[in-house]
Structure 1
């Protein structure tokens, strides 16, 4: 038994011991992993922010400072482009909030003002239809009177609320402290993540160089090539997906706004922004924005809400068959069934973030898996066996290579023997 095999058995034994320890203390191990992930969460969030901002940063560097790397301009090139990137992203977020929030507030005010009259009309309509059934009408009147907004004793409700506030003051204080603590923790996490992302963006060239040096020093050439191929594929897929989704969302939101303005539907600006923002989520995103917009439009005019739904269904067909293939194209390279599966699984695990990141992650795994499959088929000769032309070409080549070797070797040996004689 050689040394290499002994080391292999030692490694397997140690791995078995570690697995047994984890299984035996699974709850403790899970808590330790949770604590570690919570501690590293700001760094992960910062890396994600840096990756998204890097797309905008690279665009500014490529278009405004394409060849400037030395001198004063080269020194301020990265910080200046980073500042422009933050200004652009913050301006986009501010513009979206400025358009959406006032419209939503107005819609909520409209809903609250229209609910009591609508409730009264619905009650009168039900009672009118129940006049044919006196027994049922009496029961219905007793039931509906419980929800009559005009007979509610608001003074009694206020007294109960004040009593609750006096008796439950301690609980309210504890709840307020908990809310303040949660908000403070979230703000702190975001600030740390933002600072970490800025550091990554400012020093990304050096970080990339140091990573390559470590891979060259500590990883084998085969492992190094595999890791580089994995990260290159993931980077291309994620970047293409984000850029394509962003452009496609802008086009869809703009078309929605233009179409609603032409048809003179209410809340055109808010609906266009909502549909565009939610369209960043593949497949189901635009329908979420459409549902919210249709509900708000229905508070003003139900018939216009129906027209909006029909218009958006037509727009979705146009987007799915023409716009999306042209804008995003086959850059992601994931079949439709896998896109649906990625959105479903990602949404079930991590909500909206999972739905957004599930598609590029699944596309990366899909590309790497099929690249490995193609290489394996080439090694096994499966691809050659499936293609008749390749098979016909290989047979004569092997014969021709072997034949000259036999002819060259035999005369050489005969000449050597004749010279000796």
Structure 2
């Protein structure tokens, strides 16, 4: 006989409280394990495909680890230093960019930028603020990350944790499944599948889309000759998970820089704009349908809220766990709403009407699969 609902809520509430306290108390200690778990989760489908092709789990894990180490070495030696240098130079160049912008406006709209005008003072103030605060913010972030993720964590613990978790992933999932309470195991498995589907569509799908688009933007902008093209491309790719925002902000920044660098060379400016147009076409018609699909994802507003809350409460570790927690909460809320729609509290005493609501229909395919 199952425990009363009141007792179940008490136990699950205690478990959630222990999780939050552990996340807050351990913080930096569990960071490499959270990173390693995220890497293992991201790469588990690759290992499964290699196993389906005939490789053992150990061989599949070894192949993935080898390629991962090679990619990391290339990024650490070539891409990351260039990215940091361009970001610092971009902050230092901002005052000159604003001065050129002032000269541009003065030549065409002299009345707007008279000595002592509000617009002129605002542009000067913004430029000085970005130069002083932007560089300081970047240096602080790099220093914080350097103190938070030391060399041992980055180069030893995280890869080792990811290797062992990836190797034992299927076994760990089976062990967790055996520990589920028998009365609720079917429902928990169903919810776990939906959470995994949401995470897979967002983290694996959108993560891959962001990586592909960021690489495309960076390489294409550098080939065109745009200064700071690597930074702009990386920035645009990083925020692609928010629909249209990545292309709009990245495109505005790139075109703005192109106007100052290539003024009069309209072909180069058109090429910069065309890069983002092509990127949006590829994302909307190829990448997102193929890699993300039509599965339920995370709403951008809900994701930003979760990142803000968990980041402020638990720091960098909180931001890492914000996405899976937000996905789990979203799935649980949809389940609770579907149960409410099927309850007498919602339907009242009229039990002759149809029991299945619109939200219930969204669970029909999963129930058929079960």
Residue of structure 1 in register with 2:189 after alignment: 228
Bigger CA drift: 231-240 or 241-250? Answer: 241-250
Correspondences of 1:135-214 after superposition (within 5 Å): 183-187=146-150, 192=157, 195-214=160-179
Residue 326, structure 1, aligned to residue 289, structure 2: yes
* 3-state SS, counterpart of residue 226 of structure 2: coil
Q: Distance in 2 between matches of 1:250 and 1:180?
A: 25
| Cα shift readout 1:258-306 (whole Å, capped 9, x = no counterpart) | 87589x4624852444433442555534444445544544552467697
Q: 2:226 aligns with which of 266, 280, 296?
A: 266
* 3-state SS, counterpart of residue 184 of structure 2: helix
Correspondences of 1:22-421 after superposition (within 5 Å): 37-39=24-26, 41-43=28-30, 45-60=32-47, 62-63=49-50, 66-69=53-56, 76-92=59-75, 96-97=79-80, 100-101=83-84, 103-104=86-87, 107=90, 114=96, 118=100, 183-187=146-150, 192=157, 195-215=160-180, 219=181, 221-253=182-214, 256=217, 264=224, 266-267=226-227, 270=230, 271-280=232-241, 283-294=244-255, 296-301=257-262, 307=270, 310-311=273-274, 314-315=277-278, 318=281, 321-323=284-286, 325-334=288-297, 339-350=299-310, 362=326, 364-370=328-334, 373-374=337-338, 382-383=353-354
| Cα shift readout 1:169-207 (whole Å, capped 9, x = no counterpart) | xxxxxxxxxx98984454166565554444423333443
CA-based RMSD: 5.5
* 3-state SS, counterpart of residue 185 of structure 2: helix
Kept in 1, the 8 Å contact 2:306–2:322? The answer is yes
Gap change, CA 1:205 and 1:259, over 3 Å in 2: closer
Query: Which structure is higher in RCO with an 8 Å CA cutoff and minimum separation 6?
Result: 2
Q: Distance in 1 between matches of 2:357 and 2:165?
A: 48
Aligned-residue offset at 1:234: 1.6
Aligned-residue offset at 1:53: 3.5
Kept in 1, the 8 Å contact 2:61–2:167? The answer is yes
| Cα shift readout 1:142-188 (whole Å, capped 9, x = no counterpart) | xx9xx9xxxxxxxxxxxxxxxxxxxxxxxxxxxxxxx9898445416
Aligned-residue offset at 1:251: 4.8
Gap change, CA 1:39 and 1:365, over 3 Å in 2: closer
Equivalenced residue count is 314
Gap change, CA 1:301 and 1:202, over 3 Å in 2: same
Q: Distance in 2 between matches of 1:238 and 1:247?
A: 13
TM-score by length of 1: 0.52
TM-score by length of 2: 0.58
Aligned-residue offset at 1:43: 2.7
